[in-house]
Amino acid sequence: MIKNILSIRALLAVVVAAATATATTTTSPAPSSAAAALSSLGVSPPSGDILIWNTGYTCRLLNHVFPRNETFTAAWSQNCRLHASCIVTPKSAQEVSHLLRILSILKTKFAIRSGGHNTNPGFSSIGSNGVLIALEKLDTLSISTDHKIVTIGAGNKWQSVYEYLQPYNLTTLGGREAVVGVGGFIIGGGLSTFYNSYGLAIDSVTRFQEVLPDGTIVNASQKEHADLYKGLKGGLNNFGIVTDYDLATNTGIDIYYDIKTYTVPNTPSVLAAYATYLLDTDFLLGIGTAGLTSAGISYSGTFSYKVTGPTFLKETYEVYLKAAASLPAGAVLSYVPQGVITNLVTKGASQNGGNLLGLEAAPQVWANIFVQFPANVSQSVVTRTVDSVLDSLTSSTKSEGIFLPYIFVNDAGPNQKPLQSFGEENLKYIDAVATKYDPKVVMQKLQNKAYFVSGEV
Ligand SMILES: Cc1cc2nc3c(=O)[nH]c(=O)nc-3n(C[C@H](O)[C@H](O)[C@H](O)COP(=O)(O)OP(=O)(O)OC[C@H]3O[C@@H](n4cnc5c(N)ncnc54)[C@H](O)[C@@H]3O)c2cc1C
Ligand SMILES: *[C@@H]1O[C@H](CO)[C@@H](O)[C@H](O)[C@H]1NC(C)=O
Ligand SMILES: *[C@@H]1O[C@H](CO)[C@@H](O)[C@H](O)[C@H]1NC(C)=O
Ligand SMILES: *[C@@H]1O[C@H](CO)[C@@H](O)[C@H](O)[C@H]1NC(C)=O
Ligand SMILES: *[C@@H]1O[C@H](CO)[C@@H](O)[C@H](O)[C@H]1NC(C)=O
């Protein structure tokens, strides 16, 4: 087949449609339907062949369609600061729709970024092989007349949401650190300061507005597209791009908090007290790390276990100390045993039709093993240590009969399989919703890296 027959100048359109059916190599000219599809969007491509699977071409075209091209949101972790071929910052759901249609016509890889706090390279970042969709201009905020619902554009950070709600003496279940983005935080579950009293952020969502890969903009709530709404209570970015979220507001409370730092010898007793708290009571208590910075590279992993007493918490701490001591100088390892009481699980099941996380109603810990290190430390040495700590502690939970399958998305590492951890039935539900709302599998084929449902079923 000679190359210029494959061009899609209008006269040859019919020939081309037949000729390109087998052309699947990268940067191949597009089938004639691409020209028609682009023109139906009012997009006039640069002169010459329309190319698919060619990021440079797509970016040249996007340059004309989206004049503004900057992002102020840098990825939080240094190894996620990749250089996209181009960045598009859509200003409305309509622009997201337009962009997603163009990317799917031109078969161009992309990544979606809200606040950029995910620490897995490629999840909200992409290199020269693709387009970064930075949502930061979707920064609208509004409140319902009865003040019960706040509508949050997907590009906001929690700081802006809190500042917006403060004059109403209200708050919502957002990030414990105000710099985190709303987009990834909410779909990943979302542990706020008040998670044990009020439940997960995702359970407080009453409506998502989502752009589907075919460009349709839909609302998903208990009344509209109820299956998509349910799917989004766990199914992440397998269906489309969320452009705004309705979240229930909570009465603001004036809180006074104390950060107490204990020395190493005291830590086992602190952990024992924490276990007792998780088993017995129902009041606010957070445990965590303070003073994380965005300098350097971060790597995270998570596992869950039932709390039956203080023993395992203390054991994990021993393992943590050993692993921390074995790391190269400059690497700082954190172990964050996020205690979850049964109330969080029952809140989730009873609010807005429930979620797909497959949580067991028991006192439990969603442990986060987290490491930060400068770029001059070997990444593979550090990440292997974290992965092996995760593996060995997960095995211990199994042998001690306290294993829980749940993998908390917001703390999960690049090789973990959180969707699978929700259980077979929930996973199948997510898969069915993906098949219905993205029949051409655009999200799973063109998105750079993510927890793809097809990779976990
Ligand atoms: C300093 C720090 C503090 C943290 N504190 C908390 C905490 O208190 N509680 C907690 O639960 N987690 C916390 N996390 C984890 C955090 O919730 C996750 O990193 C989350 O992914 C961040 O959301 P983001 O919008 O900033 O992420 P991004 O990196 O922008 O996105 C994360 C993922 O979500 C996808 N995504 C984002 N927006 C959309 C959208 N609108 N539609 C479809 N897909 C989308 C992205 O493609 C990506 O896969 C913290 C992380 C850091 C670094
Ligand atoms: C965005 O800017 C980069 C360089 O900063 C450029 O290579 C790219 O073509 C631009 N893309 C768009 C869509 O404007
Ligand atoms: C918020 O609370 C403060 C005192 O706690 C009160 O003075 C103020 O009127 C309240 N504002 C609203 C909008 O309710
Ligand atoms: C979704 O619902 C919101 C709030 O009711 C409305 O403003 C928006 O236009 C709706 N979107 C679509 C696509 O119907
Ligand atoms: C790595 O860089 C840090 C500064 O970020 C420096 O203090 C340290 O000495 C360096 N380590 C090595 C092994 O080069």
User: Considering every ligand atom, which ligand is closest to the CA of 128?
Assistant: 2
271 and 413 share a domain? yes
In a domain, 197, yes or no: yes
Among 166-170, 240-244, 281-285, 375-379, name the one with the lowest average pLDDT. 281-285
Question: Are residue 122 and residue 150 in the same domain, yes or no?
Answer: no
Whether residue 444 sits in one domain with residue 371: no
In angstroms, the CA 276 to CA 270 distance is 10
pLDDT at 32: 82
* DSSP codes of every residue in 175-223: -SSTTSBHHHHHHT----TTHHHH--GGGGEEEEEEE-TTS-EEEEESS
List C-alpha distances in Å: 143 to 140, 160, 164, 182, 189. Answer: 10, 13, 9, 16, 22
- For the Cβ of 168 lying below 6 angstroms from any atom of ligand 3, the answer is yes
Ligand 4 contacts CB of residue 221 (under 6 A): no
Q: Where are the alpha helices (DSSP H) in 166-204?
A: 182-187, 195-198
Yes or no: say if 363 and 340 are a contact pair by the CB < 8 Å rule.
yes
Taking the centre of ligand 3 as the mean of its atom positions, its distance from the CA of residue 169, in whole angstroms, is: 6
How many domains are contained in the chain?
Answer: 3
Closest listed residue to residue 292, CA positions, set 410, 178, 416, 450: 178
73 and 150 inside one domain: no
38 and 15 Cβ atoms separated by less than 8 Å: no
Residue that is last in its domain, among 105, 134, 163 = 134
269 and 406 both lie in a single domain: yes
Would residue 334 count as lying in a domain? yes
Q: How confident is the model at residue 408 (pLDDT cuts 50, 70, 90)?
A: very high
Angle, CA of 373, 408 and 108, to the nearest 5°: 75
- What backbone phi and psi angles, to 5 degrees, belong to 404? -125, 135
Check if 294 has its Cβ closer than 6 Å to any atom of ligand 4. no
The yes-or-no verdict on residue 344 having pLDDT over 70 is yes
Residue 301 placed within a domain: yes
pLDDT of residue 255: 73
Helix (H, G, I), strand (E, B) or coil at 447: strand
Residue where the block lists tokens 């989730």: 348
Closest CA to 84 of 131, 46, 17: 131
Q: Which helix (H) or strand (E) holds 142?
A: strand 141-143
Which among 134, 160, 195 is the end of a domain?
134
109 and 201 in a single domain? The answer is: no
Taking Cα atoms as reference points, which of 448, 419, 452, 88 lies closest to residue 239? Answer: 452
Mutational pocket test of ligand 4: of 209, 242, 437, the residue with most ligand atoms within 8 Å of the beta carbon:
209
Q: Residue 124: in which H helix or E strand, if any?
A: none
Does residue 390 share a domain with residue 274? yes
Q: Are residues 167 and 298 in the same domain?
A: no
Residue at 332: amino acid letter: V
Provide CB contacts within 8 A for 304, sequence distance 6+.
Answer: 364, 365, 366, 367, 404, 405, 406, 407, 408
Ligand 4 atom 10, closest CA: 219
Same domain for 18 and 129, yes or no, is yes
Does residue 377 sit in the same domain as residue 396? yes
Is the predicted pLDDT of residue 279 greater than 80, yes or no?
yes
Beta bridge partners of residue 87, listed in sequence order: 132
CA of 33 to the centre of ligand 2 (A): 27
With contact defined as beta carbons under 8 Å apart, do 85 and 128 qualify? Answer: yes
Q: Does the C-beta of 69 come closer than 6 Å to ligand 2?
A: yes
- The atom number, within ligand 2, closest to the CA of 88 reads 13
Mean per-residue pLDDT, 408-418: 97
Residue 369: CATH number of its domain: 3.30.70.360
> pLDDT per residue over 104-153, tens digit each?
999 999 999 999 999 999 999 999 999 999 999 999 999 999 999 999 99
Instruction: Report pLDDT for 16.
Output: 27
Cα 347 to middle of ligand 3, angstroms:
28
- The SS3 call for residue 431 is helix
Q: Which residues pair with 111 in a beta bridge?
A: 132
Asked if the structure places residue 326 within a domain, the reply is yes
Ligand lying closest to the C-alpha of residue 221: 4
pLDDT for residue 292: 66
Range with lowest mean pLDDT among 2-11, 121-130, 334-343, 390-399: 2-11
User: Is residue 222 in a domain?
Assistant: yes
Instruction: Give me the domain span that covers residue 169.
Output: 141-253+423-455
Strand positions, DSSP E, 222-359: 241-248, 250-251, 297-306, 332-340
Ligand 4 closest atom vs CA 219: 1
Give the SS3 label for residue 366.
strand
What are the backbone dihedrals phi and psi of residue 401, each rounded to the nearest 5 degrees, phi first?
70, 25
Give a yes or no: residue 12 inside a domain: yes
Q: Is 22 a residue whose pLDDT tops 90?
A: no
State the Cα–Cα distance between residues 68 and 105, nearest whole angstrom: 21
| 259 within a domain of the structure (yes/no) | no
CB 367 within 8 A of CB 304: yes
- Residue 353: other Cβ atoms inside 10 A: 13
Question: Would 400 be classed as within a structural domain?
Answer: yes
- Residue 120 φ/ψ, nearest 5 degrees: -90, 115
Structure-block tokens of residue 344: 């969080």
Two structure tokens written together for 447: 């998105």
Instruction: Say if ligand 2 is within 6 A of residue 110 CB.
Output: no
Q: Same structural domain for residues 130 and 146?
A: no
Q: Is the dihedral of CA 9, 12, 16, 19 positive or negative?
A: negative
Residue 3 C-alpha to ligand 1 middle, in angstroms? 45
Q: Which of 91, 115, 134 is the last residue of a domain?
A: 134
Q: What is the mean pLDDT of the chain?
A: 89
Question: Can you tell me the distance from the alpha carbon of 117 to that of 68, in angstroms, rounded to the nearest whole number?
Answer: 23
Q: Do 360 and 395 fall within a single domain?
A: yes
CATH number at residue 232: 3.30.465.10
